[in-house]
Amino acid sequence: MKGRSLFIAAILCLMPIVPNGLKAQEYTQTPVTVSKEKVKSSDGKVYYSHVVQERQTLFSISRAYGVTVDDIYAANPEVKKNGLKKNDIILIPVVSDSGKNTASASTPQSSSSQTASSPSRNQQTASNQQEDSEEYFIHVVKWYEDINDIAAKYGIPAEYIIRYNGLKSNKVKSRTKLKIPRERRIIETTPVAEENPVVEENPSQEVSSDEGPVIETISEEQMEEQDGGGLFGGLFTRRTSVNAALIMPLGASGKPSANNFDFYSGVLMALRDLGNEGITTDLSVYDMVGGNIPVGADKMSDFDMVIGPVAPDDLKKALALSTKKTAVISPLDQRAVSLTGSNANFIQAPAPYDAQYEDIVKWIRSDRRSGDKVIVISEKGRVTEASTAIDSLVKRSGMDYTPFEYSIIEGRNILGSMRNVMTTEGTNRVLVNSEREAFVFDVVRNLNLILHNRIDVVLYSPARIRSFDTIDIEHLHNVNLHVSTSYFIDYEDARVRKFLSEYRALFGAEPTQFSFQGYDVAYFFTKGCLNGGGQWVDKLTGRNGERMLQSDFMLTKEGLFGGYVNEGIRRVIYDTDFKQKLIK
């Protein structure tokens, strides 16, 4: 990222949350609970004793305890050698209220989750002491401070601090080291140019300040941002950077939301790759606490786009504070699609469930051949929003089909009746019109039994079937399952393999689906914003599917005054060779 900068200021507070819209898409990860058990080593150092749970990572554990991955490695050399395993008992250094690590006097710098030049907390403190002099002392800027706050704290006019440090304005980055003069007469006699430059710390991927966790990445210097006019203006302005915000419940001071942190980590990866392409991004990260949007309307209008919050009610609050100039992107919850009808600056990034249902019906129509039979199996006596939507789509499609209903209590007694409605001349293309696990399990079981009668069956289903643990994966391959889904990671894709390798090296952890989604959303919309200028979202509509790591983007506009919906769907086949193939 030569000559460019990537600036991420994370404002992290409290309150964990798990995004509701992804429960049906296998988006689960075990949260980290801070242990209350402390142990003392033979040399007197104090540690927490933490029992590793399934799907916890070094990254999520380190965040929960407020330490770095290197701190954990230093206390547990066997973890660095053998990796993290379920039910392992590992030692976590206890961090005092002052932010100092009571278990270690220094932090190793060799971990892949932190750059070699990144100073530890104690090293930062020592550095501050060394740089103090008789004429000035060093103040490290906290994430919540500006020049006026610092000036008031020390009883010095703000212009004195600006002049003494050679600043050009009152804007200052988090973790910048400012020289605070001990006597005012020093200010009056000190030149303002290069003799007293601002001293900045080396960039790091993850750092915790004395006053609270701050995550930031800084390259060389900030490019000047040219306003592209937002969503509906500046048609002929050439953008040089994107000003964006990420608003999510992170809960770094209490019980962190591991899923949201994984999403955030994916965002960081995307902005790093964009930086390597010469795209400058200024990203401000805000934690949501108590359902309150942590940024006012004036600041909101400064952003080209805002990613988040997660829940539909929180997204409504963000939209109420934004203007048409700022695009508000729903990053995770499919249910937020209801907001597109009346908000012109709203973007629904995850393809909604209706798009899955519509695609599965289209897929059956395109696959059907002469001699084939379409059978729609529904659960008798149970009507849901999903089943009603699928039933309506099948009827509107105009294709001939045979409806078949039964209740789960009929069990194996229904097998003969199900076999009787099938053809032996062609393929039976079966659509299971249910998302209830118990019923879908029974349908799959019966279809596997019918296969022994040399009846050709292909099962079509919405994506929720992929998250049903009770269904044997072999049975899905036996019935040649065809799934229309919003998310699918193709591990044969070279870009996916590259992301996996670099994510592991950078964070020392395995990426989750949240990590992939964070990357996809940040990369696609940031690049689209930069290249599109004014009305940039409109320029993203109508394309025939932009393929990212786990999602496709095909935006459509909802009416004249509505927002934008992603209808990019992936088609996945569970073939009889026990492979999952992405075909669209």
What is the phi-psi region of residue 454: left when phi exceeds 0, alpha when psi lies from -120 to 50, beta otherwise?
A: left
The residue among 553, 584, 557, 548 whose CA lies nearest residue 567 is 553
- Amino acid at residue number 52: V
Contact (Cβ atoms closer than 8 angstroms) between residue 510 and residue 57: yes
Displacement of CA 453 from its chain's centroid (Å): 46
The pLDDT value given to residue 78: 84
Structure tokens at 276: 């390597």
Structural domains in the chain plus CATH codes: 121-201 (3.10.350), 354-485 (3.40.50.2300)
pLDDT of 576: 81
- The pLDDT value given to residue 170: 76
Q: Which pair of tokens denotes residue 294?
A: 């942590």
State how far the Cα of 320 lies from the Cα of 261, in Å rounded to an integer. 26
Secondary structure of 158-198 as H, E, C letters: HHHHHHHCCCCCCCCCCCEEEEEECCHHHHHHCCCCCCCCC
As beta bridge partners, residue 565 has: 348, 556
Tell me what pLDDT residue 133 has. Answer: 66
Q: How far does CA 324 lie from the centroid of its chain?
A: 24
- Determine if the pTM surpasses 0.85: no
- pLDDT by 10s per residue, the chain, length 584: 333 333 333 333 323 333 333 333 333 446 778 877 777 766 668 888 888 887 777 877 887 888 888 888 888 888 877 778 777 888 888 875 444 455 543 332 333 233 223 333 333 333 344 455 667 888 888 766 778 778 877 777 888 888 888 888 777 887 788 888 875 444 444 443 333 333 333 333 333 333 333 333 333 333 333 333 434 343 334 556 889 999 998 875 566 778 898 999 999 999 999 988 888 888 999 988 778 888 888 888 889 999 989 999 999 999 999 887 899 999 999 889 989 888 999 999 999 999 999 999 999 999 999 999 999 999 998 888 888 999 999 999 999 999 999 988 876 688 889 999 999 999 999 999 998 999 999 999 999 999 888 899 999 998 989 988 899 889 999 999 999 999 999 988 999 999 999 999 888 889 999 999 999 999 999 988 887 766 788 888 866 668 899 999 999 988 888 899 999 999 999 988 888 888 87
pLDDT confidence of residue 560: 81
In the block, which residue shows the tokens 């409109």?
538
CA distance 205 to 317: 31
Please report the pLDDT score of residue 544 as a whole number.
Answer: 61
Q: Please tell me the predicted confidence (pLDDT) of residue 19.
A: 36
Let me know: does 426 contact 456? Beta carbons within 8 Å: yes
User: What is the per-residue pLDDT for 564?
Assistant: 92
- Phi, psi for 254 (deg, rounded to 5): -125, -120
**CA 27 to CA 263: how far, in whole Å?**
11
Whether 366 contacts 583, CB under 8 Å? no
CA distance to 10, 53, 74, per residue, from 37 (Å): 30, 16, 19
